[in-house]
Structure 1
Amino acid sequence: MDVLFLFPVKEHHEQRLKEEFPDVNFLFDRKPDDAAALETSEVIVTYGADLDEAHIEKAKGLKWLMVASAGLEQLPQDAIARRDLTVTNVRGIHKTPMAESILAHILSYKRGLKKIYEQQARAEWNKKIGGKEVRGSNALILGPGAIGGEAGRLLQAFGVKTYGCNRSGRKADYMDEMLSFDGLLEALPGMDFVVSVLPSTPETRGLLKKEHFGAMKDTAVFLNFGRGDLYEEQDLINALNEGRPAAAVLDVFDIEPLPEDHPFWGMDNVTVSPHASSLSGKYVDRSLDIFIPNMKLWLAGKPEEMENLINTERGY
């Protein structure tokens, strides 16, 4: 069996895989235009953005697509659905670095770290940095899954009350209260932090409208660590200029890299993060921690028991 990796892995990762699966032929660090490798591989491991519909059609032997990413919106989903392929992702591996990033930005904002850094650059001694406590705040987490739940756990440890919001309002870990998307507009005026870790799906694209931003407190902070198509960027720009919310921390954007002339770069109440919140140096290790058990189940003829199976029609 050929297993094709479309992104580079380190030597110790290759060795780990060969030791676990001595009878599998791994094709490491190939490109999707490697026609021979594409055609013979039963399993393809990819970040997702490098495959298009033509590649899927050429991959005659493909049965399982392992996506080393949580989001699937960059994949040719119609072509994948037509082939009835098994698709898995690495949902959950981002939870530690992303939750820590969310907490870091919240603490930085509340404790005035940006102002402290700016004062240091000017050799200025000034205690009036406007630092406030996080304890006693309310945080609304859009998408309280693995990442949102871990963010909720950390925030609760700091005395923050957590509200989870998903499509159905069903219970989620580390959320003090739950609501559905239908109750979102009503809940926003009571929130100090609004954090999105939502994926890009038909239900979430364009979910936030200008009325949602307008309903936020004039002291609230909006943080988007999910996907950039959650709202129209101009709506957020207008809302920030009007003072509701007070500030935004953005790790994802409609167009990436963010264009040099984009207004976000010049806005004092916006923190631009280069889609880096999930980085920690452990990405591939954690991806393999999901891939290896799934590969064992695949070889045993038990694909239905694999972790992180994706419904290709829903996209998650």
Structure 2
Amino acid sequence: MKKMVITRNIEQHYREQIQAIVPDWELIVGKDKNIWQEHIKEAEIIAGWKNGLEEYCLDPHAKLKWLQSWSAGVDYLPLEELCSRNIYLTSANGVHANPISETIFALMLGLTRKIHTYVKNQQKKTWHHAQMGLEIHEKTIGIIGVGTIGKETAKIAKAFGMHVLGVRHSGKSVDYVDEMYTPDQLDMLLPKCDYVVVTLPLTKETNQWFGAEQFKQMKASAFFINIGRGEIVVEADLIQALFEGTIAGAGLDVFETEPLGTESPFWEMENVIVTPHTSGSTEHYDQRVIENILIPNLKAYLSGKIPPINLVNFSKGY
């Protein structure tokens, strides 16, 4: 009997939906290692990755043929090994468009309208204007990485009457983006932006991509938002840019080292909002992964096709 392992705790009705598609397979579901450990080498399909799984599913005798990631980013996975074994890898890209775009605007609005400052003042029972004065309407936003998240962010930006600039490899136009640039044109985009939003995946090309040179190209009044990956930014250069006033502030959900260490200057900066890598968290996460990605991919796989949704290109790293 073939086996499928889901290393997550999912609601019973989702389990029943999946089992109905693979009625002749043994379906093993649960976050606890003790539930799936004895089955993992026999699993042809695994949904959800856990640290240490490579010991089992990349064993020469393992039967894994397709791995469905429960996250959009796949930089933490053993990509070279999966590629060398011709294992299909599909991501959860697209699940996060709504919650992350909401977080992006929460950070942008929070910094613009000084909500983080007022929350601190409320805790101290301090009535103070805090030099409030900025608006987000009619400003220019640069979205670095116009994928699913970037497109939704651009759509929301137009509701504020914003001028939207975007960066994507192809340079092809997208709805709600007024001007599209390619990565080698970043230096043309940055000086125009009041907000720079990074939504990129972490790859060999994007690693340490944003450093001192990029921050110097930005307006002194601009805000920097990063919900992609912390390693995309040279963190020491960002800290220096914030201390020196090279840029106005930052909203950061991701960091080079997580959890963010208590010694990090980010915690104490008045012009920074820190969130603990939660921009993609949502009540609808499992539903979207299972119903929009896993089940359609599973049906395709069972019919002999390559899983079509979010198939990772190993050479690109996403």
TM-score (norm 1): 0.93
Distance 1:233 1:296, change over 3 A: same
Q: Pick from 284, 293, 298 the counterpart of residue 295 of structure 1.
A: 298
SS at match of 1:260: coil
Instruction: Tell me the percent identity.
Output: 36
Matches within 5 A, 1:78-117: 78-117=80-119
The answer to whether the 8 Å contact 2:41/2:57 transfers is no
Amino acid in the other structure paired with 1:226: G
Cα-to-partner distance string for 1:156-177 (whole Å, 9 max, x where unaligned): 1111111001234222332111
| Code of the aligned partner of 1:24 | W
Corresponding position: 1:27 with 2:28: yes
Q: How many residues align?
A: 315
Cross-structure match for 2:286: 284
Which is worse superposed, 226-235 or 261-270?
261-270
Equivalent position of 2:13 in the other structure: 12
1:209 matched to which residue of 2?
211
Mapping 1:44-123, distance limit 5 Å: 44-47=46-49, 49-52=51-54, 55-57=57-59, 60-123=62-125
List runs of 5+ in structure 1 lacking aligned partners. Answer: none
**Deviant stretches of 4+, over 6 Å:** none
CA gap of 1:166–1:53, structure 2 versus 1, over 3 A, is farther
Task: Give distance in 2, aligned partners of 1:105 and 1:228.
Answer: 16
- Whole-angstrom CA distance in 2 between matches of 1:49 and 1:156: 41
Structure 1 Cα separation of the partners of residues 161 and 221 of structure 2 = 18
Which deviates the most, 68-77 or 20-29?
20-29
Find the residue that maps to 2:186 and give its secondary structure: helix
Letter in 1 for 2:297: N
Q: Determine the structure 2 residue equivalent to 1:198.
A: 200
Counterparts in 2 of 1:313 and 1:136: CA distance versus 1, 3 Å: same
Give secondary structure in 2 for the equivalent of 1:194: strand
Distance 2:159 2:284 in 1: 25
Paired residue type of 2:187: L
Q: 1:142 to 1:53 in 2, by over 3 A?
A: farther
**CA contact under 8 A between 2:166 and 2:177: conserved in structure 1?**
yes
- In structure 2, give the amino acid aligned to 1:303: I
Q: CA RMSD in A?
A: 2.0
Q: Give, in angstroms, the shift of residue 20 of structure 1.
A: 4.0
User: For residues 66 and 301 of structure 2, what CA distance do their matches in structure 1 show?
Assistant: 9
Between 68-77 and 120-129, the greater mean CA deviation after superposition: 120-129
More off after superposition, 180-189 vs 284-293: 180-189
Higher mean displacement: 198-207 or 32-41 = 32-41
Q: Which residue of 2 aligns with 1:226?
A: 228
Report if aligned partners of 1:144, 1:173 keep a CA contact under 8 Å in 2: no
Q: Select which of 262, 268, 275 maps to 1:273.
A: 275
**Does the 8 A contact of 1:135 with 1:158 survive in 2?**
yes
Give 1:264's aligned residue: 266
Tell me: CA distance 1:88–1:161, structure 2 relative to 1, closer, same or farther (3 Å). Answer: same
Larger mean CA deviation between 129-138 and 154-163 belongs to 129-138
Partner of 1:176: 178
SS class of match (2:39): helix
TM-aligned CA deviation for residue 264 of structure 1: 1.4
- Mapped partners of 1:122, 1:297: distance in 2: 57
How is 1:119-134 mapped onto 2 (pairs within 5 angstroms)?
A: 119-127=121-129, 129-134=131-136
TM-score of the pair, normalised by structure 2 = 0.93
Judged with a 3 Å threshold, the aligned counterparts in structure 2 of structure 1 residues 60 and 47 are, in CA distance, closer, same or farther, namely: closer
C-alpha displacement at 1:53, in angstroms?
5.8
Amino acid at match of 2:22: F
Distance 1:134-1:174 versus aligned 2 partners, 3 A rule: same
CA deviations on 1:235-292 (whole Å, 9 max, x unpaired) are: 1111111112110111011111111112211222221110001111111111101101
Q: Distance in 2 between matches of 1:59 and 1:99?
A: 42
The structure-2 alpha-carbon separation of the partners of 1:132 and 1:75, relative to structure 1 and needing over 3 Å to count, comes to same
Q: C-alpha separation between the residues in 1 aligned to 2:313 and 2:114?
A: 43
